[in-house]
Structure formats: C-alpha cells, structure tokens
Amino acid sequence: MHQTKLIYFYALTIAALILFALIVGGIVEIKVPVPEFTKPSPELTLTKLKTLCSFEKFEAVAISSLKFVDGKYSEIAKADLSVGVSKDRVDYLAEAKTLCNWFDISRKIDRKQISEREREYRFYAGILFDSNKAYHIRLENGHWKFVLGN
C-alpha cells in the first residue's frame, strides 16, 4: 500500500515537471481568460487624464487623445508633437496643457451625449460660471479619448 502511494506520488511529480518544462519552453501554451474589471468609460478617461495632468505629463495627455484632420479622427503621434506650429498645424502639446488647465479651474462639468460614440464635456469656471470650454470625447478602438485641436 505504501509503495503504491509512492509510485503515484513520483509519477504525478514527474508528470508535473514535464508539463512545467513544456509550458516554460513555450511548447504548450495555456491561455487563462482574464476578466475585464473595468469597462472603458468617459468618466474613467477623465479621471486618468486628470491624474496625468496633476503630474504634468502633458505629452502623455496629448498622445492619449485624438485629432480631427481632413474629416477623420486619428490618434496623435509623437511626431505630431515635435512639428512646429503653423497656420495649418495644431500645437497639440499646448492643447493638452489647456485641457489640463480646464481640469484644474473648472468648478462644474456638464456632460452631454451626442451619440453612442461621442460625448461633449463642457467645463465651467469663474464665480458665476461665466467662462466655459467644451471638449468632445470619442470612443475609438475601444477606448474613450478627448479630441484636441477642434
């Protein structure tokens, strides 16, 4: 009885070691489904960008935003940040700083749904909420992103 248990133990141990070697070697691939804890939302994007702004990561804010050029939305690349400003070019880094400034000074935010894929966030500042600025946030490639340069 004792020898049978030892044989099963050693056989199981050897099988586990072989499986471990196959997994580590990349021969056997195990895919574990990862639950999605947070669903992308405009509010989550707003919180993320406010955090980046508080650390003055304006380049990261710009790169995680969208631009609207020639009737199409596209992501802002690092190359877009290094190009000089002219009449047909937008300074996306300055736009990101302005967005961060509105995050800081706003006392009220109005949220308006334009479509399933687009929202308008209007930031109000001042004692009487007399100054305001609207930004659009769009769902692109599964992520909500602010549109800069509009």
Same-domain status, 84 and 16: no
Distance CA 135, CA 115 (A): 14
The pLDDT of residue 22 is: 81
Tell me if 74 is assigned to some domain. yes
Instruction: Provide the 10 A C-beta neighbour count for residue 37.
Output: 5
If one counts the domains in the chain, the total is 2
Same-domain status, 64 and 27: no
Bigger pLDDT: 89 or 9? 9
Same-domain status, 3 and 55: no
Domain that holds residue 28: 1-32
The pLDDT of residue 82 is: 76
Same-domain status, 28 and 59: no
Which pLDDT tens digit goes with each residue over 130-139?
Answer: 889 999 999 9
Tell me if 107 is assigned to some domain. yes
The pLDDT of residue 26 is: 73
Which pLDDT tens digit goes with each residue over 40-81?
Answer: 899 999 999 999 999 999 999 999 999 998 889 999 988 888
Same-domain status, 72 and 128: yes
Same-domain status, 51 and 8: no
3-state helix/strand/coil string of the chain = CHHHHHHHHHHHHHHHHHHHHHHHCCCCCCCCCCCCCCCCCHHHHHHHHHHHHHCCCHHHHHHCCEEEECCEEEECCHHHHHCCCCCCCCCHHHHHHHHHHHHHHCCEEEEEEEECCEEEEEEEECCCCCEEEEEEEEEECCEEEEEECC
Tell me if 82 is assigned to some domain. yes
Tell me if 37 is assigned to some domain. no
Tell me if 120 is assigned to some domain. yes
CATH of the domain at 115: 3.10.450
Bigger pLDDT: 38 or 56? 56
Q: And the tokens for 82?
A: 């290094």
Tell me if 89 is assigned to some domain. yes
Which pLDDT tens digit goes with each residue over 20-33?
Answer: 888 877 777 777 77
Q: And the tokens for 110?
A: 């109005």
What predicted TM-score, i.e. pTM, was given to this entire model? 0.69
